[in-house]
Structure 1
Amino acid sequence: MNQNLIEVKNLKKYFPLKRTITEFLTRKEQKFVKAVDDISFTIKKGETLGLVGESGSGKTTTGRMVLRLLEPTSGTIKINDIDITSLTSEELRKFRKKIQIIFQDPMAALNPYMKIGEAIRHALKIHKIGENYTEQKQIVYDIMERVNLKPAEQYYNRYPRDLSGGQRQRVVIARALVLKPEFIVADEAIAMLDVSVRSQLLKLMIDLKEEFNLTYLFITHDLATTKYICDRIAVMYLGKIVEIGTFEDIYRNPAHPYTKALISAVPEPDPKLKKQKIIPQGEVPNAVNPPKGCRFHPRCPYAMDICKIEEPQTIKLDEQHEVNCHLFNKK
């Protein structure tokens, strides 16, 4: 786990807002939703990086850009030292065998009119893996068995509507793994499941990571989930990464006020232990016109005058723990 598999630098994604005819004719300045605004991070080979934050923080947009399912406005994305932002469509198509995604909603991700076995085999057909139909079908059987869709022969010809939510998510996981990728983006992969099924799927993802030597970007709004699967955690707020560190750093020694608020919201299993909840004031600002300076300052209980003017720079607290906050500026 010493070699970086993923290197993201100065990544941005601005979505243009539609202008009215009047705005267009009067040449009113184009406005953008700054979904992701200049973030950088790395993921080591064999590591799981958790990306957490509230809805609208830019997590899913980041995950899709890392796979180039969305084109970045600017920035670079290197996977195994290959800058995928410079690849042509054909080069990217061939490269996709190495990078896959597990979507949040399996019903939206699967074709309701395609049998699940064929949905998994479809990736093999695209990339011409397997000598013939029989060999491809056996590969599909093997991966279905591995994700506990047993016996595979009984599931192969079923449709998504015939399965439970947990089984459908196993199909999506199998489809991502059938090409034997190196890197997987898990976008809220267990968010829509019951609690009991979540624990089973988490254990499955951990086992698969070890078996297939996978690297994960694990996107979630539930910070409590990250303790079971993530090696490091990056906290996003309004398009910015405000803190990044190991699991121990984030849980035992959170630095950014926003991270502390997220930690305080994690339920405590022991009813005798009382935790002080930190609830940020107000609502999340509009990503079209984000606050100047630190984006969290309108909701931060520790906000200073400098927070309203100057954007905080990245400050290293130790070897792997970084925070973007003026409270730690020693100037």
Structure 2
Amino acid sequence: MIKVENLKKYFPVKRTVGEVLLRVPQRFVKAVDGVSFSISKGETFGLVGESGSGKTTTGRLILRLIEPTSGKIFFEDTDITKLSKEELRKFRKNMQIIFQDPMAALNPYMKVGDAIKHGLEIHNIGGSNQERKMLVMKMLERVNLSPPEDFYYRYPHELSGGQRQRIVIARALILRPKFVVADEAIAMLDVSVRSQLLKLLIDLKNEFNLTFLFITHDLATTKYICNKIGVMYLGKIVEIGDFKEIYTEPLHPYTKALISAVPEPDPKRKKKKIIPEGEVPNPINPPKGCKFHPRCPYAMDICKETEPSLKKVKNHIVACHLY
């Protein structure tokens, strides 16, 4: 359903002198730097990595919420990077996003029922206002906000964090999209609410036959919802594999470090933690060769000079000179 080829997004570096905003010539933050992957229909692809690795930027590029510097994005064989604004607006109902912060994603002056109904009005779904209201009521009930009449006329500030996130989910799914980007959709919630919303997302995925890009920094949640996992570091994909194989046999040193940081529920079982040295390099001036080599315990001379390309190793795709 989704195919991304050599996707790049470079943000120009800017600085302020007095009250004048200046661009720093030929300096860029390479937020996404040559990313390629595909997502099959009905699959949930997990995109994981530290903050600043480029996960959210990748998700927004796929939906064309921001424009790519270069690369191609295919949705069911349609290259959406070539669509005009009007064509993209009509196309938009097939691709939706669940934002991380529901309070920032919702208009504080718009009742939540109207916020969900707004998408139906834009795409002219439902014959009348009453029919659209009924569709919204059904969706509110489906995301476990019952009775729906109690929530339709409320404002976002009158709801809890978990209820607001259910509203954002309802707004994304009311258009019956085929593909959904869930950008840290449960990260800002309490642990008990997270499990409820994770189960809700899984149920909705199966009910509506959705395809998900699940963006998260929490590897522990990916094993409950993801079929495949892509690991990002400093704008690059470093490993892609089936979620079971990523958990049981990670290949890239960075993936191994992420897996080792996942808490072990059984206190009797102890696992060795792998803590990368130092901090994430400056994205404006990343290291030469493999971007992970300054922190990697297995770094070789070639890692400092030559950037590794993605290659198939066993059933994984990994970018590392160890293989």
> TM (normalized to structure 1)?
0.95
The code of the aligned residue for 1:308 comes to K
Count how many residue pairs are aligned between Structure 1 and Structure 2: 320
4+ residue runs over 2 A deviation: none
Q: Distance in 2 between matches of 1:257 and 1:208?
A: 35
Relative to 1, partners in 2 of residues 1:33 and 1:124: Cα closer, same or farther, differing over 3 Å?
same
Show CA shifts across 1:269-321 (max 9, x none).
000111111000001001111111100000000000000000001120134x1
Q: Which runs of 5+ in 2 are unaligned?
A: none
Alpha-carbon distance, 1:220 to partner: 0.2
Tell me the equivalent position of 1:59: 55
Query: Is residue 45 from structure 1 mapped to residue 36 from structure 2 by the alignment?
Result: no
- 2:166 equivalent among 157, 166, 170: 170
The code of the aligned residue for 2:318 comes to V
Query: Is residue 241 from structure 1 mapped to residue 223 from structure 2 by the alignment?
Result: no
Q: Which runs of 5+ in 1 are unaligned?
A: none
Secondary structure, in 3 states, of the residue corresponding to 2:322? helix
Query: Is residue 229 from structure 1 mapped to residue 225 from structure 2 by the alignment?
Result: yes
Relative to 1, partners in 2 of residues 1:28 and 1:45: Cα closer, same or farther, differing over 3 Å?
closer
Q: Distance in 1 between matches of 2:273 and 2:289?
A: 26
The code of the aligned residue for 1:189 comes to A
Alpha-carbon distance, 1:29 to partner: 3.8
Tell me the equivalent position of 1:146: 142
Query: Is residue 314 from structure 1 mapped to residue 310 from structure 2 by the alignment?
Result: yes
| Alignment check: 8 A CA contact 2:183 2:216 kept | yes
Q: Distance in 2 between matches of 1:140 and 1:172?
A: 12
Show CA shifts across 1:46-80 (max 9, x none).
00000000000000000000000010000000000
Query: Is residue 325 from structure 1 mapped to residue 311 from structure 2 by the alignment?
Result: no
Q: Distance in 2 between matches of 1:51 and 1:19?
A: 31
Secondary structure, in 3 states, of the residue corresponding to 1:326? coil
Q: Distance in 1 between matches of 2:126 and 2:16?
A: 52
Tell me the equivalent position of 2:98: 102
Show CA shifts across 1:169-204 (max 9, x none).
000000000000000000000000000000000000
| Alignment check: 8 A CA contact 2:13 2:24 kept | no
Q: Distance in 2 between matches of 1:253 and 1:227?
A: 14
Secondary structure, in 3 states, of the residue corresponding to 1:289? coil
Q: Distance in 2 between matches of 1:90 and 1:182?
A: 19
Secondary structure, in 3 states, of the residue corresponding to 1:219? strand
Q: Distance in 1 between matches of 2:3 and 2:113?
A: 34
Percent pairwise identity: 73
Q: What does 1:1-331 align with in structure 2 at a 5 Å threshold?
A: 5-18=1-14, 29-319=25-315, 321-328=316-323
Q: Distance in 2 between matches of 1:177 and 1:151?
A: 19
Q: Distance in 2 between matches of 1:249 and 1:74?
A: 32
| Alignment check: 8 A CA contact 1:19 1:30 kept | no
Alpha-carbon distance, 1:33 to partner: 0.3
Alpha-carbon distance, 1:213 to partner: 0.3
